[in-house]
Chain A
Amino acid sequence: DAGITQSPRHKVTETGTPVTLRCHQTENHRYMYWYRQDPGHGLRLIHYSYGVKDTDKGEVSDGYSVSRSKTEDFLLTLESATSSQTSVYFCAISGTSQETQYFGPGTRLLVL
C-alpha cells in the first residue's frame, strides 16, 4: 500500500467553525489531490497540487482552500464549515500525470 495517511479520520464540527484536514505521504510523489465523496455523485475533485506551493482548483473548490508547504503534506481547510460540506474526504497521490493515483483511507466529516 502507498504510504498515505489522513487525519483526523472522523470529525464532528459545528456550522461556522474552521476545519483543517491533513494528508501526509511518505512516497515523495509530486502530485496530491483532495476529493469529496457524496452519494450519487461519486468523487469530485476539490483542489490539487503539482508541487510545493503549487496548487490549483478542481471541480468543487468553493468554500475550500489548500496549502502545501512541503512535499509530504497537503492540507485542506474549510474556512467556515457548512452543512453542505458534510462528506467523506479522500486524499490521493501520484508520481506523474500518467501514474496511478493512490488513495488514502478517507476522513468522515459531519457538520452540524
Chain B
Amino acid sequence: AQSVTQLDSQVPVFEEAPVELRCNYSSSVSVYLFWYVQYPNQGLQLLLKYLSGSTLVESINGFEAEFNKSQTSFHLRKPSVHISDTAEYFCAVSGRGQGAQKLVFGQGTRLTINP
C-alpha cells in the first residue's frame, strides 16, 4: 500500500517569488509519482509525472519536480510564480506493476499568489 503526505495545507507567496510545495510518500513497492492541479470549480489536470528515467521532470508552464528515492520525496518547485498559478495542487502515487493505476492522493496544498 502507498500513502502520501503533503506537508503544507496552504502556501501564500508573492507574485514572481519562488515556491516549493512539498510531497513525501511511502510505499513497499516501486512507484510512479504525479502532481495534479485543480483550478477553482474544475476537475484535476495533470501537471507532471515521473514514471522512469530522469529524476527531474518538468511541465510546460515552468513547474518542475525531482524524484528523490532516498528521501521518498517528490517536491514541486517553480522559480517565479504568476497570479494564474493560484490553485490547489495534489501529489499522488501509484504502485508499479499493479495493473490499474490506483492513485493515492495527498491532502492537497492550496497555493495563493499575492500581487
CA distance A94 to B101 in the complex (A): 8
Interface string of B26-45 (1 = CB under 8 A from A): 00000010001000001111
Q: Which of A42, A48, A105 contacts B102 (CB 8 A)?
A: A48
- Knowing A40-B107, A41-B107, A43-B103, say if A98 contacts B51 (CB, 8 Å): yes
CA distance A35 to B46 in the complex (A): 15
Interface string of A55-80 (1 = CB under 8 A from B): 01011000000000000000000000
> B90 to A42, Cβ gap below 8 A?
yes
CA distance A104 to B42 in the complex (A): 9
> B107 to A103, Cβ gap below 8 A?
no
> A59 to B43, Cβ gap below 8 A?
no
Q: Which of A43, A56, A59 contacts B90 (CB 8 A)?
A: A43
> A31 to B101, Cβ gap below 8 A?
yes
- Chain A residues within an 8 Å CB radius of B103: 33, 35, 43, 45, 101
**Residues of B with Cβ closer than 8 Å to A?**
4, 6, 9, 32, 36, 42-46, 49, 51, 90, 92, 98-108
A-B contact pairs, 12 of them (CB 8 A): A31-B100, A35-B103, A40-B107, A41-B107, A42-B105, A42-B107, A90-B43, A94-B101, A97-B98, A97-B101, A99-B101, A101-B103
Supply 12 further A-B pairs (C-beta < 8 A) apart from A44-B105, A45-B102, A101-B101.
A42-B106, A42-B108, A43-B103, A48-B100, A50-B100, A56-B100, A90-B44, A94-B101, A98-B32, A102-B46, A105-B42, A105-B43
